[in-house]
C-alpha cells in the first residue's frame, strides 16, 4: 500500500481532474485502501462542486466563437455531401476537424476556471483552518469564563450563607506581626483565608492549619507573603470536619505534612 498524500491540496487537484500519470494513479490506488483519505477525497469533490457553482462565468473570445461556428458549418456540409454521394456512403470518412480546436477551447474556457477554482480552494482551506483555530480558542475562553462564574457564585453563596462563620486570627507574641481571618462553612465544606502578614524569614514559609475537634491538623495552604500585599484564597474542606481552631505556623520552605514550627496567628472557632 502506497503512502498517504503529502499535500492536502492533492485531493482538490484530483477532484478538479488536474492530476495525471503517476500522481493520479497514486491517489486512486491509495484511496482504494485508505478510508480516511477516501473521506478527504469525497470532501474535496464536494468543495469543487460548490466552487464550480460560485465560479465566475468565462466568455470565450470572438476568435474561438468564430472557429466553433466554422467547424459546425464544415461538419454540416460534410454530412450533406455524405448523404448525396453513393461512393461516400459506401466508404464513410470522418470530416477533418480544425487542428487545435479542442485545445484552444479548453485553454479559453477550462484553464481560467481551473485557476480560479484552485486559488479559491487554497484560500478557503486556509480560512477554514484559521476558523477552526479561532473556534477552539473561543471554546477555551468560554470554558474558563464558565469556571470563573461557577467559582464566583460559590463564593457569593458561601459569604451570604447564615452557616458561614468568621474567625479572627490574632498575632502571637514574639512572632512576625500581621492580621488575618478565616471564614468557614461546615455544611458547604468550604474555607476562605484572607490576611496580611510580614514576609517569612529566609528558607521559611507560612502554613495555615485547620485543627479539628477530632483528628490531626489539616493543611489548608502554604504561602509566602509579599510586603503590602494581602493573601487570599478559598478551598474545599474535607467532609465532616468540625474545626476547633485555626493557626498559621512558620515552617521550612514549602511546608510540612504536620505543624512543626511556632504559631504566628491563632484563632478559636
Q: Where are the domains of the chain?
A: 9-54, 62-157, 165-268
> Which regions of the chain are under pLDDT 70?
1-2, 6, 48-69, 71-73, 75-115
Q: What does the pLDDT read at residue 71?
A: 66
Q: What does the pLDDT read at residue 124?
A: 81
Among 251, 226, 237, residue whose Cα is nearest residue 193: 237
Length of the chain: 269
Q: What does the pLDDT read at residue 89?
A: 45
Domain 165-268: CATH class, spelled out: mainly beta
Cα first-last separation, the chain: 73
Q: What does the pLDDT read at residue 102?
A: 42
Q: What does the pLDDT read at residue 38?
A: 84
pTM (2 d.p.)? 0.49
Looking from the CA of 21 toward its CB, the CA atoms found within 13 Å total 1
Amino acid at each position: 500500500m502506497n503512502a498517504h498524500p503529502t499535500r492536502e491540496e492533492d485531493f482538490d487537484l484530483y477532484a478538479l481532474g488536474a492530476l495525471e500519470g503517476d500522481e493520479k494513479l497514486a491517489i486512486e490506488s491509495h484511496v482504494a485502501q485508505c478510508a480516511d483519505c477516501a473521506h478527504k477525497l469525497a470532501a474535496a469533490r464536494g468543495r469543487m462542486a460548490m466552487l464550480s457553482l460560485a465560479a465566475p462565468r468565462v466568455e470565450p473570445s470572438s476568435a474561438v466563437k468564430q472557429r466553433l461556428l466554422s467547424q459546425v458549418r464544415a461538419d454540416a456540409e460534410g454530412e450533406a455531401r455524405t448523404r448525396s454521394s453513393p461512393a461516400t456512403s459506401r466508404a464513410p470518412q470522418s470530416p477533418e476537424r480544425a487542428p487545435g480546436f479542442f485545445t484552444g477551447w479548453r485553454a479559453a474556457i477550462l484553464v481560467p476556471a481551473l485557476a480560479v477554482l484552485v486559488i479559491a480552494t487554497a484560500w478557503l482551506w486556509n480560512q477554514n483552518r484559521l476558523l477552526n483555530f479561532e473556534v477552539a480558542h473561543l471554546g477555551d475562553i468560554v470554558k474558563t469564563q464558565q469556571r470563573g462564574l461557577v467559582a464566583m457564585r460559590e463564593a457569593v453563596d458561601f459569604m451570604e450563607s447564615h452557616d458561614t462563620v468568621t474567625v479572627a486570627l490574632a498575632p502571637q507574641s514574639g512572632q512576625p506581626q500581621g492580621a488575618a481571618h478565616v471564614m468557614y462553612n461546615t455544611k458547604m465544606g468550604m474555607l476562605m483565608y484572607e490576611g496580611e502578614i510580614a514576609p517569612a524569614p529566609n528558607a521559611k514559609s507560612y502554613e495555615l492549619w485547620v485543627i479539628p475537634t477530632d483528628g490531626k491538623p489539616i493543611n489548608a495552604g502554604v504561602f509566602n507573603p509579599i510586603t503590602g500585599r494581602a493573601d487570599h484564597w478559598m478551598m474545599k474542606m474535607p467532609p465532616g470536619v468540625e474545626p476547633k481552631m485555626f493557626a498559621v505556623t512558620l515552617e521550612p520552605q514549602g511546608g510540612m505534612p504536620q505543624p512543626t514550627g511556632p504559631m504566628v496567628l491563632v484563632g478559636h472557632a
